[in-house]
């Protein structure tokens, strides 16, 4: 994770994602959805390709979801955009100061993230929102590992759902006994040799309709996740400033 990453590496990563054909079942499904569409979006052109992360390389908050929605990101071309899960996510990010607006309707709606990046474990929309184990493993190996390195400024990771939690744990803790996923779970990650500051993993229920419609996840519960992420980032920044000040004093 000590490798220096620049914008050219991110552009190459996005190109690799957009052109990926490694999972034939997923690609067939995405293209079939893009062809048949929904009546309400029949006039729109569908993206129909794998979805890259959304956010800048220097972001300190890294959010991981499961996969693009068939008529959300698979239609609009941006993660958590154009579906109800995205409505929940970006409203919460806006309220916590991580986004300039609360709506995410298209790639051209002016949405900008502040100190946050949003990604997903699986880059293609899977049938019934259930990727096969081999598809999950393939995307983790091909892309998620690189994203941990690309977004090396991240200090707080938020996992939206158990699959994202397990994936991030595997990438960040490299074989350590896995902490149990639950909404609001928070773990100070064991430091890796290349980490100069503490990092944290927070678990949240995914803002899918099966959670939000049933009341399993409420907006105050979801807000608490990102407000806590903000608190942890503020603590991390204060620690960094104090360490820098102490270093300057010791050298004078």
Radius of gyration of the chain (CA): 18
Q: What are the domain boundaries of the chain?
A: 7-251
First to last CA, the chain: 32
C-alpha span between 139 and 153 (Å, rounded): 22
CATH superfamily of 7-251: Uracil-DNA glycosylase-like domain (3.40.470.10)
- Tokens 């360490």 correspond to 243
C-alpha span between 91 and 98 (Å, rounded): 10
- Tokens 């270093």 correspond to 247
- Residue pair 125/68 in contact by the 8 Å Cβ criterion: yes
Alpha helix segments (H runs only) across the chain: 7-18, 24-36, 73-76, 84-95, 133-139, 145-150, 162-173, 209-212, 219-251
Nearest alpha carbon to residue 171 among 191, 150, 141? 141
Query: Residue 148: exposed, middle, or buried by beta-carbon count in 10 A (0-12, 13-18, 19+)?
Result: middle
At residue 174, the pLDDT reads: 80
pTM of the predicted protein model: 0.91
pLDDT in tens, the chain (252 residues): 344 557 899 999 999 999 999 999 999 999 999 999 999 999 999 999 999 999 999 999 999 999 999 999 999 999 999 999 999 999 999 999 999 999 999 999 999 999 999 999 999 999 999 999 999 999 999 999 999 999 999 999 999 999 999 999 999 998 789 999 999 999 999 988 888 889 999 999 999 999 999 999 999 999 999 999 999 999 866 665 654 455 455 555
Query: Residue 223: exposed, middle, or buried by beta-carbon count in 10 A (0-12, 13-18, 19+)?
Result: middle
**Predicted confidence (pLDDT) per residue in 148-194, tens digit:** 999 999 999 999 999 999 999 999 998 789 999 999 999 999 988 88
C-alpha span between 167 and 182 (Å, rounded): 14
């Amino acid at each position: 994770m000590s490798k220096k990453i620049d914008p050219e590496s991110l552009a190459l990563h996005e190109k690799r994602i957009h052109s990926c054909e490694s999972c034939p079942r997923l690609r067939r499904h995405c293209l079939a959805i893009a062809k048949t569409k929904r009546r309400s979006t029949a006039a729109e052109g569908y993206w129909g390709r794998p979805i890259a992360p959304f956010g800048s390389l220097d972001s300190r908050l890294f959010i991981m979801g499961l996969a693009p929605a068939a008529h959300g990101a698979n239609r609009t071309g941006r993660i958590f955009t154009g579906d109800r899960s995205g409505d929940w996510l970006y409203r919460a990010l806006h309220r916590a100061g991580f986004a300039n607006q609360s709506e995410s309707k298209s790639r051209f709606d002016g949405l900008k993230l502040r100190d946050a990046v949003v990604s997903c474990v699986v880059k293609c929309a899977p049938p019934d929102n259930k990727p096969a184990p081999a598809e999950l493993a393939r995307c983790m190996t091909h892309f998620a590992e690189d994203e941990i390195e690309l977004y090396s400024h991240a200090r707080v990771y938020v996992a939206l759902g158990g699959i994202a939690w397990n994936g991030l744990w595997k990438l960040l803790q490299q074989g350590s006994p896995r902490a149990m996923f639950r909404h609001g779970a928070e773990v100070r990650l064991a430091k890796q040799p290349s980490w100069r500051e503490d990092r944290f993993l927070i678990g949240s229920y995914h803002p899918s309709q099966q959670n939000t419609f049933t009341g399993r996840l409420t907006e105050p519960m979801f807000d608490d996740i990102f407000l806590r992420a903000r608190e942890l980032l503020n603590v991390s920044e204060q620690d960094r400033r104090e360490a820098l000040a102490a270093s300057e004093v010791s050298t004078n």
